Amino acid sequence: MSDIRFGNLNSMLQERLLGAGSKVASSRSEVSVGTSSAGAGAGSQDSKSFLETLKGALETTNDLQKGADKAANNFAAGKGSLHETMIAMEKADLALRTITQVRGKLIEAYQEDSRMPV
């Protein structure tokens, strides 16, 4: 993952979050990060911009963190199972580590751009 280029961050983020179970039911609606199936041609692109995808990933990460906290509280109260709690916590951990990696890559790309002569 250390060899990621800035142009590949969008697809990497979507792949990692989809692998982490990015569909999370929240109180407002179901958030999912994925590619749009809106284009029919071979050259069709995602209808989401990188910024929208990043915002969705942050919301998904936040929802996973909240779900893990709720699962942990339910387990502590004797209402949930250890298995479900650990799965929720691992999904939240993976999403947080992924978004932290993306943040690092974005900062690295910004710093590299700022060092370029004008």
Read off the tokens for 93. 């951990």
pLDDT digits over 70-101, tens only? 999 999 999 999 999 999 999 999 999 999 99
Cα–Cα distance, 83 to 73 (Å, whole number): 14
pLDDT digits over 45-56, tens only? 557 888 999 999
Q: What is the DSSP letter of 34?
A: -
Taking Cα atoms as reference points, which of 101, 19, 22 lies closest to residue 57?
22
3-class DSSP assignment, residue 83: helix
Report whether 34 contacts 23 (CB < 8 A).
Answer: no
What's this model's pTM, rounded to 2 decimal places?
0.59
